[in-house]
A and B are shown apart, each in its own frame.
Chain A
Amino acid sequence: MSLSTPVALVLLFMLGSALAAAALRDVVGSIVAFAGYSFGVAVLWAFLRAPDVALTEAAVGAGITTVLFLLTIARTTVSRSERFEGISLRSGLAVVAIVVTVGATVPALPPIGAAGTPVLDGGVSQYYLHNAYEQTGVTNVVTAVLVGYRGFDTLGEAAVVFAAGVAMLLVLRQEEFV
């Protein structure tokens, strides 16, 4: 796969902000770098023509998560220790091990846009693309799959969000935890 210049720039930006998020010892700076990384991922999804995922990543990853991180940090950790610890040798080795392990699986993936991948040839995705509009009346196939064909999964996701809300009410209301 040949990288186009914008995608390469976004990847470079993501790499830089990820390293900054890990290496920065300043708490707020690290959180902002993490938000920048999330924003880079969102832009990358948009380049890879996944606007639904890009919207989610931008809203949840770059937006709300950053706000919640900042709130949490401002309320708790910072009053106890002002800075994050530096990267220790052990955690560095663990990160390298994870990167090597995950990186070893990358050659097994088909190149982006290659013909003959299951996404293009597989019966399931072609069935969705051909029948989604007639069967559900929805032009966005992603939504058709999410609610029309895989509605039970989506109900599970909504239930998870609901359960998370209930759990957070229970936990954060307990004063001994705060």
Chain B
Amino acid sequence: MSGEDPDSADEGRLSRPAAERPPYVESTIIMTTVRVIAPFVLTLGVFVMFHGASSAGGGFQGGVIAATTVVMLGFAFGIEPIAAHLRNEHLALLVFGGLGTFLAIGFGGYLVGGNFLQVSGYETLFHHGSKYSIELVEVGIGVVVSGVITGLFFLLGTGLDTAHDATEPDSEEDR
């Protein structure tokens, strides 16, 4: 990559080496659009997550749509500033919390006199108990999915740059 001539780059070919390519281009149009759209996308994601019990949707879809908000913000305002706000510990907390919710509902089935993950047992606690526990499970799945996707996006978007900054710009290819 270091011996490559930047002038040979045609359009449609991202052949400039990563060191010379601007990592983030500030664009008023993209920033304004994302600022308007992001709340709606997050709302849609949360709606799909919560409303999966009554209409099409569920945790997996809703989690991905909610994580799209972070992706959009990353494209509009740069991945690194967004990633600086959401550290990996927060994302790990999200993912553990989601899986923990699922497992808690599962093991709670024993407490209400059923089996593992037997949501109908919650009906004895309160009305529509099984429905609410199913929705809680969906939200847990959504939190796991959105946490993992956000983490993957951050790692792919920033991981190389931090590694790149730590070493000489041209020694990257030698590793």
Residue numbers of A with Cβ under 8 A of B are: 26-29, 51-52, 54-56, 59-60, 63-64, 67-68, 71-76, 78-80, 82-83, 135-140, 142-144, 146-148, 151-152, 154-155, 157-159, 161-162, 164-165, 168-169, 172-173, 175-176, 178
Identify A147's interface contact among B21, B65, B134, B144, CB under 8 A. B134
| Secondary structure type dominating chain A contacts | helix
Q: Does residue B98 face the partner (Cβ distance < 8 Å to A)?
A: yes
Expressed in whole angstroms, the minimum distance between the Cβ of B53 and any Cβ of chain A is: 4
Taking a contact as CB atoms under 8 Å apart, the answer to whether B102 and A63 are in contact is: no
Interface size bucket, B side? Answer: 35 or more
Q: Which residues of B contact A64 (CB under 8 A)?
A: 64, 67-68, 71, 149
| Closest 5 A/B residue pairs (Cβ) | A51-B56, A137-B131, A165-B148, A151-B117, A59-B64
> Bound complex: CA of A56 vs CA of B142, how far in Å?
12
Q: Does residue B27 face the partner (Cβ distance < 8 Å to A)?
A: no
Expressed in whole angstroms, the minimum distance between the Cβ of B141 and any Cβ of chain A is: 5
22 contacts between A and B (CB under 8 A): A26-B13, A56-B60, A59-B65, A60-B60, A60-B64, A67-B71, A75-B156, A79-B17, A135-B120, A136-B120, A137-B134, A142-B58, A143-B58, A151-B137, A158-B99, A158-B140, A161-B144, A162-B99, A168-B152, A169-B155, A178-B159, A178-B163
Closest to A74 in B: B14
**A151-B13 contact in complex given A52-B56, A136-B131, A143-B138, C-beta closer than 8 Å:** no
Taking a contact as CB atoms under 8 Å apart, the answer to whether B131 and A138 are in contact is: yes
> Bound complex: CA of A168 vs CA of B95, how far in Å?
13
**A83-B141 contact in complex given A64-B64, A137-B128, A164-B148, C-beta closer than 8 Å:** no
Taking a contact as CB atoms under 8 Å apart, the answer to whether B140 and A138 are in contact is: no
Taking a contact as CB atoms under 8 Å apart, the answer to whether A67 and B144 are in contact is: no
Additional A-B contacts beyond A73-B14, A75-B156, A136-B120 (4; CB < 8 A): A157-B141, A165-B144, A172-B159, A175-B163
Q: Does residue B106 face the partner (Cβ distance < 8 Å to A)?
A: yes
**A147-B61 contact in complex given A82-B15, A137-B130, C-beta closer than 8 Å:** no
Q: Which residues of A contact B119 (CB under 8 A)?
A: 136, 147-148, 151
